[in-house]
Every structure is written in C-alpha cells, then in structure tokens.
Chains A and B, each alone.
Chain A
C-alpha cells in the first residue's frame, strides 16, 4: 500500500559556504563579483557554477577584491541583487567601497569568512578578528548592519536575512562567519518558497521628473530605481543633497548623515536578531556568536546539569549591537560571560552597554583553535 506522500522540505548535506550560496539564490541574488580567497573560495566557485543556470544570472571573477566589490555596487545600481564573499585580507581591501556603498545607499551583501590575522595570518584557521573591522573598517561615520551565523543552517537563513535587510534599508550588510562554520558539513533544510520572506527594494512610482533620489521618506529609505529604467540621477560618493549632487552646505550635509543613521536606528527591533537559551532564570549568561555560540550552548546545558543557573544569549546581529536584549538579561543575571576567538572585540560592546552594572568575564583565544565547551564550562562553574 502506497503511503500518502508528505510534502517535505528539501534536505541536503552541505558546507557552510554552500549554504551561503543556497541562501543567496533563494533571496534572489543574480550577481556575484569577487576574488577568491581562502577560506571563502567555495562560495565563489559554487556561484560560478550556479549563476549561469539562472535566467539573468551573471558571475565575474575580478582582478582583486577592490574590483570585486566595485562590480557588485555597479550591478546593484543596475537593479540586481548582488553579493561578494571574501576573507580578512580581502575584506580590508574592500573597505573603501564599503563606505561608498553606505553613502550611496546601495544594497549589497558581503560575506566575510574570518580567518586568523592580522595580515595574511592563519589562512585556514578560525578566528573572530574582523568584528570591529566590519563595524568601523571604512572611514567616516556611518551605520551598518553586521550579521553572523553559528551553524550551517544559519548560514542559509542569515544570508536570506542579509539580503532582505540590505534591500529594505538600502545598505550594505556584512555576514561574518568563521572558518569552522564555513567548512563544517551538516544536514540543512532548504525551505519552501512560502516559508520565508523575500524583500525587494522599493522602486519609485512617481514620474521621473518628480523623483529625488535621496529625499527623506517616512522610513528614511528613499525608493531606488535601477540604472536604465528611465529615472536618470547622479550617484556620488561625495556628500550630496537630495538630488544626488555634491554639497557642502552644513544643513544638507547634516541631513544626509543623520538620515543614514536614522534609517537603521529607528528600526532596531527589525534588525537586531538574537536567540535566547535558558535565560529566564539565569544568574550567569553567556553572550556568544559564531561557532563559539555552539560551544557555549553545550556548556550552558552541562552547567545546568551541575546546578548552575546558566543561559545563553546568541547574537545573530552583531551591529547595531542588540542593546535591549542585553539589558533585559542584565536585569536578572549577576554575571555575563563573553567568549570570543579574538582579544575582546565584542566584549567591548557588552561592557559599553553594561557600564559597570554587573560582572563581565571574557574568554579570549587567539591561537587558531576553537573555544571548547569545557573552557566555557570552567568559567560558568566558578562565577
């Protein structure tokens, strides 16, 4: 007797880097431009195979990372959902164009598979050393959205989220993953199209002669037409007025810079994504992200077994830093533990929010090895 066929989501066994590609394609990405670098190269290699199979998909290997992000901005201005992927040294090269993406309000996604540094560092060892570079790497004041992923499924889910936030807020979004997650192979579920949301940038509907490309709107995000669609306007990295032309008039300069912050800051509830595990009654809460969050999750479970009221706040959004979520757990817990594969880049943010209210313990490791559950457990049982 034939059993009724249950409609199932597709399950695949994938690398973190492969999952990023799946997520990007589900989100509607049709352009990839970049330069290969370990440990992010698989993202580019798989894109080279997949994009030519999609109508309108295009792929190009550029001469360096600067060119890679330049081509991505060009393609995005021309109406495509576009991305690039890189690793530490390549991300450093991209910083000038990241700033250009911010001021021109060009949606794009940069995946940075972090490796040990500084400089060429440890090409295939994990690290979380690019956290503050993602926030402040480019020059000048700007807002930015930085996401992370702690397992292969999240690589897929958060890549979709990265594209959605980029399109919704007309801004570059950076996805930071570390080498372990990128090179771990796990079973993941590819969702059906009706199970996830895809956000497309809002295009103008007014006649072209009425359109002002950088005008204030209710959301703070102006509609964005594609190059060649009949709306002709000037795009510049110079500080510009609402028409897009360079200006140094203090009122116009202030208006632009403040709007660039405001358009993200007024929707913090939409961009600050966190997961909480056992935090309701926790005395000690681990704040972690990336692969380290998996170690932390196990450590919290083991600590509970030993009678320690431990919890985990897992950050999917690193910037804008999830202040509210942190303040909520601080109202109950007496200690925060921040394990990171760097010398304390995210614990700076935690300490800034904490401002001396509760005890903050850091666990820092920069030897190219992951922080193990045992190392976190040791701290949890001693506080």
Chain B
C-alpha cells in the first residue's frame, strides 16, 4: 500500500477521462462518502480490478461514475439485484452498492430485505438524506414525521423507516450507522462492512440542505452538519439515555456483526460437492 494523504489519495482513484465537475451541490455529504469509500478500499489494500461499485438512481447513483473501478449505474431501486448477479458470477469481487434512501427503502425495499435475508456477500452503503434530492425534494420513506417536503406540504403524516432496525430484522450480517460528520468512524464502518463475508449495510446520514434543509429550517450546509453533530450519538451513550431523551437523538455505531458466510460461498461449496469435489 502506497502511503498517500488526503486529496492525493482521492485523485489516485478518480477517473481522469470523466467530464468533471460532478453533479453534487456545494456542501453535499455525498462527496465525503466518496472519499470515505476510497480510503476504505485503499485501507483494505484492494486492487481496482477487485472492486465493483454498483449504484442506483439519484444523486447517490452518480457517485459511481467518478471512481476508477468497475462501475455500474443501474435502474431506480434495483442496484442490489444487479449486484447479486455480479457477486454470484464473480464471488471473489468486492461488490459495493451505493443507494439513496428512496432507492433502497421505497422502490427497492423488497430487494433490500431479501438481499439481507439471503445474506449475499455484498456491501450496501445507504446514503440517507431523508429526501428525494435529484427529483426535486419529495418525501422519502425516511423523511421524519412532521417534517416538510414538496409532497408533504402539511408535514409528513406517515411513519418513517429506521434503516438499521429494518436490516437487522431482515437478518443482515453487518449493520452499522454512521454520518458524514464523524468521518473516521465512517471509514472504519465501511472497511468492516466490506470485510464482512455476508450482506453488510452501512447507513450513512448525509445532509441535503438544498432540498431537505430549505424546507425544514436548516438552510445552510453548516446548519445541517451542526444538527448531525448534536443529534447523532454513539450507541453506548444512547442506551444510557431516558426514553424521553432517546426520542431526540439518533444512535450510531455497529448494531449487528455476525460472520456467517455469504450465499455465494455456500452455493459454490455445495456445487463443488455435487460435482464430486471435496
């Protein structure tokens, strides 16, 4: 592993034939996730050819185009299905899926719970900004009750999904929640998620001041990052809070960590037995 710092390292992994600038707004958290993803892959010592980044639709979906890996920008909500096919076909590849909250839990909710259930050895990064950003600021399954969006002008009246609880209940191997404010911890979570043999989920809280913030009194990126700093606390500290205080905070950290082997490993072991191997 070459020792490189900061942007020097990031540049090593960006595509130089891609037409920059990127699509993200100034202050968007997605660029921080991209940096974190690159540091994690570099930290694990993986070669560029061993990594496949699969992305869905929306702002998060554009992330794949910028990095010099095998990259697939798929259809809305279905990134996990493509990733499943790639992982089954190439079990030695590290397949990392980048999805938004609408991508993963609305249109792709079915694929998310089933990828977790079958424990396919894919890592899902869920970039949760509580809103449909690229589509123009409509509510998503994680828009908190009471908050405003283009399609909830009277305030969200539905309950929102808790990605961590959803994926834990669906039996994912590794479930963690981090934020783009707590970057060192996020790097570690993504590394652990990629190293995990089964289905790993890292929910990443990333702000969208352009669409979510402007409707909900967080007009600038700084307001949004301050909120992440104030509201998101470590799971250990969260557990010690009273029920009333818990309602105001969001726990972060590693919630599930098992080391069950991934579906593809089980399949090929069984197939080898059928073919008369060991």
Contact = CB atoms under 8 A, between A and B. Distances in A.
Contact of A73 (B50, B52, B82, B93): B82
Interface in B79-123: 80-90, 92-93, 110-111, 114
Contact of A243 (B17, B110, B264, B271): B17
Interface stretch (A16-24, A50-58, A256-264, A303-311): A50-58
A75 B86 contact: yes
A183 interface: no
Contact of A228 (B50, B68, B271): B50
Contacts of A62: 81, 84, 114
B65 A232 contact: no
A28 B74 CA distance: 26
B257 interface: no
A67 B78 contact: yes
Contacts, number: 147
Interface string A147-191: 000000000000000000000000000000000000000000000
A327 to B, nearest CB: 39
A166 to B, nearest CB: 16
B74 A100 contact: yes
Interface string B55-80: 00000000011001111111100101
A237 B75 contact: yes
Contact of A245 (B65, B75, B86, B264): B65
B270 interface: yes
Contacts of B65: 234, 236, 245-246
Contact of B86 (A53, A55, A77, A96): A77
A33 interface: yes
B114 A52 contact: no
Contacts of B135: none
A74 B89 contact: yes
Interface string A18-62: 000000000000010100000000000000000111110111101
Interface residues of A, number: 48
Given A52-B274, A232-B68, A70 B84 contact: yes
B49 interface: yes
A69 B82 CA distance: 8
**Main DSSP-derived SS at the B contact region:** helix
A54 B275 CA distance: 7
Contact of A235 (B73, B111, B275): B73
Interface in B163-190: none
Given A77-B72, A100-B74, A237-B74, A63 B114 contact: yes
Contacts of B237: none
Interface of B: 15, 17-19, 48-50, 52, 54, 64-65, 68-75, 78, 80-90, 92-93, 110-111, 114, 263-264, 267-268, 270-271, 274-275
26 contacts: A31-B89, A52-B274, A58-B88, A58-B89, A59-B267, A64-B110, A70-B82, A71-B85, A74-B72, A74-B86, A74-B87, A77-B72, A78-B86, A78-B93, A79-B89, A97-B78, A100-B74, A226-B90, A227-B86, A228-B70, A232-B68, A232-B69, A234-B72, A235-B71, A237-B74, A238-B73
